[in-house]
């Protein structure tokens, strides 16, 4: 089956009797492009699939608020971008906690010396990390 135009998909999505069918078509039409976009930001395959699923869930719940002045792909792309960033932020929070536990372990096991100030290095490291863009901070 060939891809439907945005206006054809929107017409089907607005009708209760064809809404589920139309959404299934929308998923099939855009899932590969959106997955490829998400995968550039979220490098793990399974996590990228989870983000893609969240994108389509948000699209489903937000269909009634979709303004037809934009293209469907542009709208889905924006949702995918935001969901990818949200995922990276969540991952960063998880990594940050583990980094703190590692830093705590290191500070208790390293001997203090006049050439090594763990607090000063930790502050410099934190400042440097906070200057990185969100995507790089998550790594």
Task: Tell me whether residue 126 is in a domain.
Answer: yes
The string of DSSP letters for the chain reads -PPPPHHHHHHHHHSGGGHHHHHHHHHHHHHHHHHHHHHHH--SHHHHHHHHHHHHHHHHHHGGG--TTS-HHHHHHHHHHHHHHHHHHHHHHHHHHHHHHHHHHHHHHSPPBTTB-HHHHHHHHHHHHHTS-HHHHH-
What is the count of structural domains for the chain?
A: 1
Q: Report if residue 79 sits inside a domain.
A: yes
In a domain, 76, yes or no: yes
The answer as to whether 1 is a domain residue is no
Assigned domain for 77 exists? yes
Residue of 88, 95, 107 whose CA lies nearest to 48: 88
User: pTM of this prediction?
Assistant: 0.64
- Judge whether 32 lies within some domain: yes
pLDDT at 110: 55
CATH number at residue 59: 1.10.1740.10
Per-residue pLDDT 10s for the chain (139 aa) are 567 888 888 889 889 899 999 999 999 999 999 999 999 999 889 999 999 999 999 999 998 888 778 889 999 999 999 999 999 988 877 655 455 665 666 566 555 555 556 667 777 777 777 777 777 766 5
Write out the residue range of the structural domain in which residue 119 sits: 6-138
Looking at residue 20, its pLDDT comes to 93
Give the Cβ contact number of residue 37 at 10 Å: 20
């Amino acid at each position: 089956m060939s891809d439907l135009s945005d206006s054809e998909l929107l017409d089907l999505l607005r009708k209760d009797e064809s809404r589920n069918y139309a959404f299934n078509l929308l998923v099939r039409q855009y899932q590969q492009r959106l997955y490829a976009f998400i995968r550039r930001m979220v490098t793990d395959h399974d996590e990228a699939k989870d983000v893609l699923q969240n994108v389509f869930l948000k699209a489903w719940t937000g269909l009634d608020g979709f303004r037809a002045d934009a293209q469907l792909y542009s709208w889905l792309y924006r949702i995918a971008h935001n969901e990818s960033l949200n995922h990276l932020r969540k991952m960063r929070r998880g990594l940050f906690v583990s980094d703190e536990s590692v830093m705590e372990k290191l500070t208790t096991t390293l001997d203090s010396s006049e050439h090594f100030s763990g607090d000063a290095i930790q502050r410099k490291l934190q400042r440097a990390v906070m200057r990185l863009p969100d995507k790089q901070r998550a790594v």
